[in-house]
Amino acid sequence: MRDSYETYLYVSPVTWMIERRRDYRAFHPDVDQTKVFAEKQYSDFRWVAGIKTPFKEQQVNWKTGALVNSTIVNSLFYNPTTEPGELTLNLYPSRQMGETELGDGVLHRLLLTKALPM
């Protein structure tokens, strides 16, 4: 692939958790092919269904230290039970309640949403 990239993982020798991930890539190659040095930092590890999971993630430009993105997870479930049709790819973006631009210049339309009545 033309837009593929290598990822380097840092595994803590104390906790054996992946604490950092580094790569040199374009964030949105379909919009802007400029490659940057990116690092994701994982923290606030908690046990969920027997799996130790990071609840905080920060993405930084590891050359400048500038914060690019930050995510905090409030709750997480592995393999939750769902009703048939509850999670369906919405192929009718005009019927969505609110299309949005997430600050990256891309209009996001294909979202996993509850199925809409036809």
Where are the chain's structural domains?
A: 1-79, 81-118
Query: What is the identity of the amino acid at 64?
Result: T
Do 57 and 39 contact (CB within 8 A), yes or no? no
Cα pseudo-dihedral 18, 24, 30, 31, rounded to 10: 110
pLDDT tens across 8-53, in order?
Answer: 999 999 999 999 999 888 777 788 888 888 899 999 999 998 999 9
pLDDT tens across 107-116, in order?
Answer: 444 444 444 4
pTM (predicted TM-score):
0.63
85 — phi, psi (to 5°)?
85, 0
More confident of the two residues 68 and 43: 43
